[in-house]
Structure 1
Amino acid sequence: MKMKLVSFVILCALLLVPTVASAEVTSGNVGYGLTPGRLWATMDAVAGLISTVIGGLSLGRSVRRIGNGGRNGAIVSMGLGLIVLAYAGVHLTIFTGDFGTGAGRAGAIIAIVMGLTGMVLAGLTLARSRSRRAG
């Protein structure tokens, strides 16, 4: 029940990102402060970090062989990693500014790396749990 609630909250936060990111910038200095591109990239990076942490915890749980071997956490991490990759990919195609212009390209690239890391950790966990069930 707790994992479903956490997944629901993460999904709701990710669905609000485009709305918040498209909000008008109140400061007149474009490039300084929190621009929509930087906000979107920050949200992507935070979601990627959450995916990586959940993937790492599930991998640690699979080592201890407690419960279901961390399969639930691995599935959540894999799903969140896919969402992060999709959002960061869309971000890179929409915001075409260069580095340092407030477009958030560096944050989107970091989010992609974090999402891929979470997916790799989840894949390791699922492979480990699959090999234990077979043998």
Structure 2
Amino acid sequence: MTSSVLLSTAGYILGVGRTVPTTAAVLALVGVIAAAFALARSRRRPAVLGLVLGAVGVVVGGLHGANAAGGLGTGNGLAGAVIAVVLGLVAAALAGLALARVAARSRG
């Protein structure tokens, strides 16, 4: 028995309305983790990754949240979009701090 059969028999189908913001939230969470690592270790590459993934989370989450019909709990992915935006902003802020630290350290 496959997982799609189990999900469809339970009455829960993961459609595009929930998949897109969930993916954006997961990418933004990876961005937070990368940016936190970059801040702790003063590394440039994870900071840039955190900044890019944070921006992706903010843009995709913001666009999906703006186009979602209905409110929270309607199954349109609005909660995932809000979480993606928040995590994306956190990732971008941490990455900005990490990049500032790397730049200050390289100057002397």
TM-score by length of 2: 0.83
Q: Distance in 1 between matches of 2:13 and 2:51?
A: 32
Give 1:42's aligned residue. 22
Give 1:89's aligned residue. 62
The amino acid across from 1:103 in the alignment is N
Number of residue pairs matched by the alignment: 100
1:107 aligns with 2:94: no
1:117, distance to aligned residue in structure 2 (A)? 0.8
TM-score by length of 1: 0.67
1:48, distance to aligned residue in structure 2 (A)? 0.8
How large is the Cα RMSD of the aligned pairs?
1.8
Give 1:24's aligned residue. none
Structure with more relative contact order (C-alpha pairs < 8 Å, separation 6 or more): 2
- Which consecutive unaligned segments of at least 5 residues does structure 2 have? 1-7
- The match for 2:37 among 57, 61, 72 is 57
